[in-house]
């Protein structure tokens, strides 16, 4: 029982650090509020879908950045979609980098786009790694207080 409580404390601390370090925002909390006993893995499933679907967008952006001349409207459109997806899971740092990228599209700054896209990909990968570790620990900890109920 004590080990279980320790794991739950670790999960809570890890979750808080994701907010404190600016990786997640309020949208993540809203996703958590949609999770319940009937769908205990809802947030993890949404995040998994985000990473599966957004991989296609990342590849499209990479491909568009390889074309010359750069099509800033197309790049902006892809990044707009990517930013929306990232916002939907509460990916705060990813969303901020997407905004910067879109600003470079608006001003026609190809070098800025290329440089910022590298940062977008770094934040995207970092968030993925941190969320995977968080969900893994949460699965280990299991549901809270359900074992202590008597029938």
For the chain, domains (ranges, CATH) are 2-30+42-141 (1.20.120.160)
Report DSSP state, residue 22: T
pLDDT at residue number 143: 82
CA torsion angle for 38, 46, 31, 43 (degrees, to 10)? 60
Q: In sequence order, which residues have a C-beta less than 8 Å from that of residue 40 and are 6 or more positions away?
A: 143
What pairs with residue 10 in β-bridges?
none
Closest C-alpha among 27, 145, 150 to residue 92: 27
One digit per residue, the tens of pLDDT, for the chain of length 151 reads: 788 899 999 999 999 999 999 999 999 999 999 999 899 999 999 999 999 999 999 999 999 999 999 999 999 999 999 999 999 999 999 999 999 999 999 999 999 999 999 999 999 999 999 999 999 999 999 887 544 433 3
Report DSSP state, residue 24: B
User: For the chain, what is the radius of gyration of the CA atoms?
Assistant: 18
pLDDT at residue number 142: 87
Collapsed DSSP state (helix, strand, coil) of residue 136 = helix
Collapsed DSSP state (helix, strand, coil) of residue 36 = strand
Report DSSP state, residue 114: H
Report DSSP state, residue 147: T
Q: Which two tokens stand for residue 13?
A: 């601390």
Count of beta carbons in the 10 Å neighbourhood of residue 57: 18
pTM over 0.85: yes
pLDDT at residue number 98: 98
């Amino acid at each position: 029982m004590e080990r279980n409580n320790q794991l739950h404390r670790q999960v809570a601390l890890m979750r808080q650090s994701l907010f404190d370090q600016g990786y997640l925002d309020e949208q993540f909390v809203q996703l958590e509020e949609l999770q319940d006993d009937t769908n205990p893995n809802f947030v993890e499933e949404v995040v998994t879908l985000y990473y599966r679907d957004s991989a296609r967008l990342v590849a499209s952006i990479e491909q568009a950045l390889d074309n010359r001349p750069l099509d800033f409207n197309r790049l902006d459109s892809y990044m707009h979609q990517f930013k929306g997806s990232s916002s939907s899971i509460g990916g705060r740092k990813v969303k901020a980098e997407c905004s910067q990228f879109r600003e470079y599209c608006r001003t026609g700054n190809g070098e800025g786009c290329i440089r910022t896209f590298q940062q977008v990909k770094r934040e995207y990968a970092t968030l993925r790694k941190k969320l995977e570790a968080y969900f893994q620990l949460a699965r280990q900890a299991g549901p809270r207080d359900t074992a202590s109920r008597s029938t």
